[in-house]
Amino acid sequence: MIRAKNIHKFYGTLEVLKGVDIHIKPAEVISIVGESGAGKSTLLQILGTLDRPSDIEKYQTEITLDGQSFLGMKDKDLSKFRNRNIGFVFQNHQLLPEFTALENVLLPTKIAGIAEKEVIDKAHSLFEDLNIAHRLHHKPSELSGGESQRVAVARALINSPKIIYADEPTGNLDSKNADALHQLFFDLRDKYKQTFVIVTHNMVLAESTDRKLMMKDGQIINNK
């Protein structure tokens, strides 16, 4: 699903990614662990097309998603590519406060130019899957932390992305809500063959994923 080679990232003279290779298979749930500052979020942003690696010609950097190379795309094409192919879940749900849960989840479909009638059934079934069907018309301020994160997961899933990147998705949840969200990731993988890359400090989650990658000082130190 993802093949990446020689990812480097500099902020000024600070090298925060020092040649990362990563290979992720379809329907794999991968965790990335490592100390704060190791470069986990930077890597996720680059794999997710939200940021670009440094000096790609010098390092002969390559990244493909489902066989498609995207590093050469212009920003506008890249936005479209991201909207169609990639979902994100962040530590803070980042839902828009003035919209209801359902409207937040439908937003990526509107950006993709998909008519509401084509996706409304899917939206409803995601709300069912994620146990938030009773919260469709609530605004984010009326949702609990766990509910907000599940709405954010529904939003990440609505366009049937090839991959979902989650950056400490349960970092702000209590352990009960965190466990429930973790279980949902595995259920969604089983039901939709969804591929997930999850950055986490939760060792129970990390140990239960298909593969745990450990980052240290800008490198993955346990890559096979």
Ligand X SMILES: Nc1ncnc2c1ncn2[C@@H]1O[C@H](COP(=O)(O)OP(=O)(O)O)[C@@H](O)[C@H]1O
Q: Is 42 in the site for ligand X (CB under 6 A)?
A: yes
Residue 16 near which of ligand X, Mg ion, none (CB within 5-8 Å, type-dependent): ligand X
Q: Is 114 in the site for ligand X (CB under 6 A)?
A: no
Helices 116-129, 145-157: crossing angle, 10 deg rounding: 140
Q: Is 22 in the site for ligand X (CB under 6 A)?
A: no
In one letter, which amino acid is 82? R
Which candidate, 45, 52, 38, places its Cα nearest to that of 8?
Answer: 52
Coil/strand/helix, residue 3: strand
Q: Pick the piece of the chain touching ligand X (CB under 6 A) from 30-38, 100-108, 114-122, 203-211.
A: 30-38
Q: Which is nearer to Mg ion, 41 or 61 (CB)?
A: 41
Residue 11 near which of ligand X, Mg ion, none (CB within 5-8 Å, type-dependent): ligand X
Cα separation, 82 vs 161, in Å, equals: 9
Which candidate, 221, 214, 219, 224, places its Cα nearest to that of 17?
Answer: 219
Terminal CA-CA length for the chain: 17
**What would the x/- binding string for ligand X be over residues 159 to 178, using CB under 6 A?**
--------------------
Residues that bind ligand X (CB under 6 A): 11, 16, 34, 36-42
